[in-house]
Amino acid sequence: MNADNKWYRVVAIVCTLSFLLTSCSTLDRVTIPGTETSSSIPAVQVGDSVVVTTKAGEEKKFEVTAVESDALVGKNVRVAYADMTTLSVKRSNKGMTTLAVALVVLGILIVVGADALGDGVGEAVDSIGN
């Protein structure tokens, strides 16, 4: 096995780990309770990761630990709906994550297969020459 093939394996493993660790997700904007276009209950649940922009211009990212009638609560943070200008929820796209992981695994198999094929061809050529 030559040094280039080892690097292909390292790159493939790093790509796989990065896909598995980051997964595919999107930020979906949801309506803020108390506005004219929304109900009194936000489309946010305990455990959701949210990004909130306040009227003061601050962006707060946190995992929701409680949904109150007038605010969202996270660890060491509480943001009242009245203070929010935007509210987005991080949603995982399991289909895209599965597809990305499958493509990376396929890429790894191709690299490993090409490496094994190259080794086999090299050995065959060497045995013919001897």
Distance CA 101, CA 16 (A): 7
Q: How confident is the model at residue 7 (pLDDT cuts 50, 70, 90)?
A: low
**Residue 99, token pair as written in the block:** 């597809």
For residue 124, pLDDT beyond 70: no
Q: How confident is the model at residue 72 (pLDDT cuts 50, 70, 90)?
A: very high
**Residue 91, token pair as written in the block:** 């949603």
Model pTM?
A: 0.53
Q: How confident is the model at residue 63 (pLDDT cuts 50, 70, 90)?
A: very high
Distance CA 111, CA 88 (A): 39
**Residue 11, token pair as written in the block:** 């790159």
Average pLDDT value for residue range 4-30: 68
Total residue count of the chain as it appears in this document: 130
What distances in angstroms separate CA 65 from CA 42, 45, 76, 102, one per listed residue? 14, 9, 10, 33
For residue 111, pLDDT beyond 60: yes
DSSP strand pairing (84-92 vs 71-74): unpaired
Distance CA 90, CA 74 (A): 15
Q: How confident is the model at residue 51 (pLDDT cuts 50, 70, 90)?
A: very high
